[in-house]
Amino acid sequence: MKKRVVITGLGLATPLGLGLEENWQRALAGESGIRHIAYPWADKSLIRAAGELKESDYKRILEEFPEEAEAEGERRTLFALWAAKSALNDAGLLNNDVSIKDCGIIFAAGLGINRLEDIQIWTGTDGKFDYEKFGRECSMLHRESAMRNNSSRPSSLIAKRFGLHGPNSTITSACAAATQAIGIGFRTIRRGEADILIAGGADSMINPLGLITFLLLKAAAISSEPPEEICRPFDRKRAGLVMGEGAGIVVLEEESHAVKRGARIYGELAGYGTSMDAYQVTAPHPDGRGAEQSMRAALKDADLNPDEVDYINAHGTGTKLNDAAETLAIKKVFKDHAYNIPISSSKSMIGHLIAAAGGPEFVYTALSVNRDEIHPTINLTNPDPKFDLDYVPNIKRIKTVRAALSNSFGFGGQNATVVVKKYGII
């Protein structure tokens, strides 16, 4: 017997804010969290805007975790701690008699930060990296350096902070990572290997080397328009992805465990599908084959027919290739019903959180199912004739959502889809 998995806690740290309700109301209102990059000399860069957390919100996180802020200092790890505590609090698992020592963590994190100063300090006059000098002076590494913070740092620190001794894994599969982490967590509980765990992701690549990477890949939006208007998923004038940062974490529980402790249930995590394009590292398959396979697998896993899906939270990056491939894949999977499904992109408001992208997007999907509200895709003002589906342009939608999909498609060809159903629907 497959155990049923329910959603009992949600936690966020995004450019829209730190609170769950704050995030949701701003998303429904179509507010943008994308702003001018705070780095010095960013006005001289080709990339001038990103979905950065507000400075006041980051200070709140530092104040909440002063010990970790002093010892660690890495942004994505601090985002992860905030979102984890928020989700555990939301699930009613902190400061009560419920034991969470057996709670596990399946978490997504991106690459650490390669600090330019760490490269410059140990570069000799010949322009080559001085490995011997670095070996003698490596204690001088910047505390945010990738060499001090590997990808598993957030999950291990969350476990330490909250005393979580259950399964602990880190996923680093690019833009599909957080959705894959949630999917793996779902399967872990469904197999009976855990009663409760937290899953999601945290990332921040808003740094010089992180930004230049996507510029060199020709995937980043370059525009002098106001920052809140740059990210344009599914729009004819879409110009590329806009980087974001933050975290999104969910508490997953085996149904009887949640019911026994009287937990509030947002919905049921009912299915998970994943695939590999096996096509090209920096581009999706033009026929959307991987995305199609991922969605079909998730529907089959959830035992759902395509016409039972009422909403799709799209990967929706705003790049020329992704939006076209995802639209084509949706049409292949849902056929005529594709034209009846509202589809929206959270990235239009918070940017692309890379490894963490699927975390906040899953939270928004769960809220859509729970509350029968759908946030819009903003900046969709120039319809593309090739994109003839319902992308919920600019204004929120009130609609009964029996079941919804959340898609994440990553660099390297990774694809992941999860299905959320209203709790109680058989």
C-alpha span between 189 and 370 (Å, rounded): 21
Residue 28 reports pLDDT greater than 90? yes
Residue 256 reports pLDDT greater than 70? yes
Q: Which of 69-83, 202-216, 233-247 has the highest mean pLDDT?
A: 233-247
Q: What is the DSSP string of 169-235?
A: EEE--GGGHHHHHHHHHHHHHHTTS-SEEEEEEEEE--SHHHHHHHHHTT-B----S-GGGT--TTB
Which residues 6+ apart lie within 8 Å of 193 measured at CB?
A: 167
- Nearest 5°: the CA angle 421, 356, 320 is 90
Q: Are strands 49-50 and 35-36 parallel, antiparallel or unpaired?
A: antiparallel
Please, which pLDDT band fits residue 421 given cuts at 50, 70 and 90? very high
Average pLDDT of the segment spanning 34-54 = 87
Q: What is the CATH number of domain 5-113+149-421?
A: 3.40.47.10
C-alpha span between 289 and 311 (Å, rounded): 21
Identify the weakest region by mean pLDDT among 106-115, 124-133, 394-403.
Answer: 106-115
Average pLDDT of the segment spanning 394-409 = 98
**Contact predicate 168/184, CB 8 Å:** no
Average pLDDT of the segment spanning 59-70 = 94
pTM of the model: 0.95
Please, which pLDDT band fits residue 160 given cuts at 50, 70 and 90? very high
Please, which pLDDT band fits residue 29 given cuts at 50, 70 and 90? very high
Predicted local distance difference test score (pLDDT) of residue 182? 98
C-alpha span between 397 and 368 (Å, rounded): 10
Please, which pLDDT band fits residue 204 given cuts at 50, 70 and 90? very high
> Which among 231, 242, 198 is positioned nearest to 90, based on CA atoms?
198
C-alpha span between 286 and 371 (Å, rounded): 35
Identify the weakest region by mean pLDDT among 79-88, 111-120, 200-209.
Answer: 111-120
52 against 149, higher pLDDT: 52
69 against 406, higher pLDDT: 406
Please, which pLDDT band fits residue 360 given cuts at 50, 70 and 90? very high
Predicted local distance difference test score (pLDDT) of residue 117? 79
Across the chain, mean pLDDT equals 93
304 against 144, higher pLDDT: 304
Predicted local distance difference test score (pLDDT) of residue 354? 95
Catalytic residues: 175, 315, 352
Instruction: Map tokens 């990967």 to a residue.
Output: 315
134 against 114, higher pLDDT: 134
Predicted local distance difference test score (pLDDT) of residue 150? 81
Residue 426 reports pLDDT greater than 60? no
Left (φ > 0), alpha (ψ -120 to 50) or beta: where does 412 sit? left
